[in-house]
Amino acid sequence: MKFTFRPSLLAPALSILLLGFSVRLVVAQLPASNASAGCQTLKPAHLNTANDFIGMGHFQEDCQKDSQAAVSSFTQAIQLNPTAEEPYYHRANAYAAVGNYQAAVADYTEVIRQNTGRFGFSSPAYWNRARAYEKLGEEQKAISDLDQLIGDSSSNADEYFFRGNMYRELGNKESAIADYKAAEKLFRDYLDGVYGSGHMDPMNQEKLDKVRNELSRLGVNTSMPQITTGRILQSIARIEVERALKLASFEPQHPTAQSFDAQLQDLYQQLSGAQPQPYQGVVENLISNAAYEKMESLEAERAQLLEKFTPSHPAISLVDSQKNQLETLIRRNKV
CATH of the domain at 129: 1.25.40.10
Domain boundary among 136, 168, 200: 136
Note whether 67 and 111 are same-domain residues. yes
Q: Which of 223, 240, 270 is the last residue of a domain?
A: 223
Do residues 25 and 84 both lie within one domain? yes
Query: What is the CB-side half-sphere exposure of residue 191 using CA atoms within 13 A?
Result: 18
Q: 157: domain CATH number?
A: 1.25.40
Distance CA 186, CA 182 (A): 6
Radius of gyration of the chain (CA): 25
| Residue 272 and residue 323 share a domain | yes
Q: In this structure, are 243 and 310 located in the same domain?
A: yes
Q: Are 200 and 90 found together in one domain?
A: no
pLDDT at 222: 81
Residue 246 is part of which domain span?
A: 228-332
> Domain check: are 1 and 87 in the same one?
yes
- Tally of domains in the chain: 3
User: Do 2 and 132 sit in the same domain of this protein?
Assistant: yes
Alpha-carbon span 153 to 147, nearest angstrom? 9
215 and 293 co-located in one domain = no
Amino acid at 80: L
pLDDT in single tens digits along all 335 residues of the chain: 445 544 444 333 333 233 333 333 333 334 444 566 679 899 999 999 999 999 999 999 999 999 999 999 999 999 999 989 999 999 999 999 999 999 999 999 999 998 866 668 999 999 999 999 999 999 999 999 999 999 999 999 999 999 999 999 999 999 999 999 999 999 999 999 999 999 999 999 999 999 999 999 999 988 777 789 999 999 999 999 999 999 999 999 999 999 999 999 999 999 999 999 999 999 999 999 999 999 999 999 999 999 999 999 999 999 999 999 999 999 999 97
- CA–CA gap between residue 83 and residue 325 (Å, rounded): 56
How many C-beta neighbours within 10 Å does residue 332 have?
13
Q: Taking a C-beta distance cutoff of 8 angstroms, is the pair 114, 140 a contact?
A: no
Alpha helix (H) residue ranges in the chain: 12-18, 50-62, 67-80, 85-97, 101-114, 122-135, 139-150, 157-169, 173-191, 202-217, 228-246, 255-273, 282-306, 314-332
Report yes or no: 137 and 33 within 8 Å, Cβ to Cβ.
Answer: no
Q: Is the peptide bond before 7 cis (omega within 30 degrees of 0)?
A: no
242 with 184, same domain? Answer: no
**What value, to the nearest 5°, has the Cα angle with vertex 183 and ends 181 and 186?**
110
Among the candidates 223, 256, 277, a domain finishes at 223
Q: Are residues 17 and 76 both part of a single domain?
A: yes
Residues 138-177: tens digit of each pLDDT? 999 999 999 999 999 999 999 999 999 999 999 999 999 9
62 and 109 part of one domain: yes
Spatial CB neighbours of 99, under 8 Å, sequence gap ≥ 6: 1, 135
Q: Are residues 43 and 124 in the same domain?
A: yes
